[in-house]
Structure 1
């Protein structure tokens, strides 16, 4: 692993940013193609199902349970035993995924009835959703194997390839939308096949990197490897704990299909904007922190607390201005990115309501992605799953209360509040167990960073302008104005933090981390 964790975070974040920017290009094209109508609703629901199962079987849950055990094998076992362990895990994971994928495709009609009951009143929309789900469901198989490969590479300190891999999904969807979809009566079918192809391309891209670290081996099925049993025991609770946010979105999808027309699409477009800071920074930080904490927990190192404190300060330092910026520039962002073709000005206004609700969840979601690995690193998956259940119950109750009077805004607010509950419970337990204590200087750090974030917000509010101004601009003028505003806000925040002596900013700009050895 890299001796400079901050550099690893920046490396993962920069590669993830490439994928997220391509994701915006993809969504601009989909907005032109689908707008926020029936076809958009059908595709977004169909794509959300394999994404949920991806979190259950792949990325989050698998990494949280597999990486600590793999790290233990690297430390205490021979290279050959470690390779055998990986082969066994790959075999059982692939078999499970194959069964789930086949069952999911066969049960597509029942799944759509379960997750989007509101679609049943529109037979054409319902049938299209079922067809798209059958095409996209195998994506679960491929992307979960991608998560296995990514977990191996991250454990060996090879962060670049896993972080860049999602680029191929976006490229595949973009290609299908631009060159195949216009020739079909149902353009969404082409985009669904783009998702399928993207899954295949992602696993193929990781194979050479796996070979370089000595783990490009055929999967096998043995029942005696204790490491596999440990992964399975950890993965059960971790699957729920790591996918709390996705389960909340899943519940929102059910209600969104019931409370109003196109609400599924409004939630999707706003969620895409919120996922940018969550993906670029939150995922990068969580990806790098888990192997660090796993190693420090195995060594019983006092650096464990320092690493957790450093990650939480970075969460606040970047998450707060990201939240303020997204809430203030949400309208211009939605107009600049999506207000073309079938996506109307009214769609942008409606999407902004859900963006307000989702935006408030940025900080707690990133914080939970930092705090949960502190439990997983010590192979404790039960505590996060218990708090995850409380979070899901909170989201469900609030969603039922707020969905009908506030529609997409109410659903988004429920998700953000549930994320806050999850983060607070995780942090309180770590503090109670003396696994974490804030390092000196937090009060001054909070005062400086919060004051600068407020100043940045005032700058954006003053120069933002009304939505009517943005609607009158051309695409080029919109992006130029948006880029200037974001650049000015970032310069004000960074320069102010530098002048006020916010040490974390200086560490960030110099790519160094004094506390992590």
Structure 2
């Protein structure tokens, strides 16, 4: 069983890596062409709202409600009943989405006022953000249907196509920046049209795979269907439960709109770097582990359920902890190497570096949430993650108000980090307290070995990296030194793990696994 999980995770991770790399290319291009100014702040707010929705749906939230029901059909129902459920779900969802999209386009001025009230003091910036949001908001319609199709494919063990689909968002936005922006009076608006076009392309990309499975939806109105009602009832709290981090980031954008010009952009570029390892491992693990946990719950196999969670949490600790420390210690070198060109200067690197360090400290918590929430939603318990999510959001609001004055935009990032750890700890302690998750006996020694290896790696990074010298190097020098530094850190970490006795079997699900 562990081999299949590892294979599926590797597929999702590799496809996601392609998308994330393209995302870096996209952001480097944006920094080069548009820089950091009031117009980019307006776009990032207009983009943050549909991108927030993309993360809710495309990165697993929709699947939290849909996949467990599909698992029940696969375990107990007929193929005809499954197809009818898919058809009615598709038709109901599509109509509700059309209404929501129309409402969002009409209410764009109110949404910008809600999510970036600081823009009201800059009339031109506010109007530009409203104009771009009206173009980008229909992405909600397309990306939710993309997530619906992806959930069907994932439930059938087809992970590659859904994981690769997000790359088209980056391709469309890159194309818009290069070819469309020079043709417009306000070049930044081209990026909004790139987002709109990406939604159409992503949906079309999923359709052939559904035809091959013989599960292409034939939309029917099915709101009265009790199973469809159950899915929608599960869907709203499930979306909220897995989206707490994104809600907190959105609130951070609201607060940043009151700060100095460029604050929203500095937070955006910081978040993008954190999203790279989070997408490659955290999202991949959440995507792969949910169908397995749902199957284990449907089969009433508590031991397999705990072993699957054990595997996911061990992998998060093994990769997430060094990624957290590495991003924190290499914050400015990474930003300098990737974005310090033309319009994005050394001052922008320093300012974005402060928020990146604060965000990076929360990377481990962000990854843990991706694995822990399916421990509840796979059992069709969407209420518990919602309850803890509310605690996290309240904590985030309070921490933002406390930290934004002394730390400015970095305080916003730190508030997101601290509230994420609160959410992760509440989820973990509840799984343990209710004996839903019963960890293996090897955990204490495993944790000690991982912590020791990370201490060795972090010591190297702390003493080896000279940030001030780094910022003065040429682009080629920065790229070469970053490659050498990251490669050496990975080698040191790997050798440390081996010397401390960590082996692949310690992360697997084999019954013979030992510390």
The answer as to whether partners of 1:63 and 1:151 remain within 8 angstroms in 2 is yes
Structure 2 counterpart of 1:215: 215
Alignment of 1:172-183 (within 5 A): 172-183=172-183
Structure 1 counterpart of 2:429: 428
Alignment of 1:354-369 (within 5 A): 354-369=355-370
**Cα separation, 1, equivalents of 2:419 and 2:403:** 13
C-alpha RMSD of matched pairs (Å): 1.7
Structure 1 counterpart of 2:199: 199
Displacement, 1:513?
4.8
TM-score (norm 2): 0.96
Structure 1 counterpart of 2:109: 109
C-alpha offsets along residues 427-454 of structure 1, whole Å, 9 cap, x if unaligned?
1111110111221111111111111111
Displacement, 1:119?
0.6
**Cα separation, 1, equivalents of 2:246 and 2:6:** 27
Structure 1 counterpart of 2:143: 143
Alignment of 1:402-417 (within 5 A): 402-417=403-418
**Cα separation, 2, equivalents of 1:262 and 1:359:** 20
Alignment of 1:240-279 (within 5 A): 240-279=240-279
Match of 1:514 among 497, 510, 515: 510
Structure 1 counterpart of 2:354: 353
- Runs of 4+ in structure 1 deviating by more than 3 angstroms, as ranges, are 53-60
Task: Determine if the alignment matches structure 1 residue 398 to structure 2 residue 399.
Answer: yes
The answer as to whether partners of 2:354 and 2:410 remain within 8 angstroms in 1 is yes
C-alpha offsets along residues 238-266 of structure 1, whole Å, 9 cap, x if unaligned?
12112111110111111110133211111
Structure 1 gaps of 5+ residues are: none
The range that moved more, 477-486 or 305-314, is: 477-486
The answer as to whether partners of 2:115 and 2:253 remain within 8 angstroms in 1 is yes
Displacement, 1:333?
0.5
Task: Determine if the alignment matches structure 1 residue 188 to structure 2 residue 184.
Answer: no
Give the secondary-structure state (helix, strand or coil) at the position aligned to 1:102.
helix
Structure 2 gaps of 5+ residues are: none
The answer as to whether partners of 2:59 and 2:287 remain within 8 angstroms in 1 is no
Displacement, 1:57?
5.5
**Cα separation, 2, equivalents of 1:66 and 1:487:** 40
**Cα separation, 2, equivalents of 1:236 and 1:340:** 42
Task: Determine if the alignment matches structure 1 residue 94 to structure 2 residue 90.
Answer: no
The answer as to whether partners of 2:90 and 2:217 remain within 8 angstroms in 1 is no
**Cα separation, 1, equivalents of 2:180 and 2:510:** 51
C-alpha offsets along residues 48-91 of structure 1, whole Å, 9 cap, x if unaligned?
11123345565433110001001111111111110110111111
**Cα separation, 2, equivalents of 1:339 and 1:106:** 38
Displacement, 1:515?
5.3
Task: Determine if the alignment matches structure 1 residue 441 to structure 2 residue 442.
Answer: yes
The answer as to whether partners of 1:60 and 1:243 remain within 8 angstroms in 2 is no
The answer as to whether partners of 1:319 and 1:366 remain within 8 angstroms in 2 is yes
Structure 2 counterpart of 1:24: 24
Displacement, 1:404?
2.0
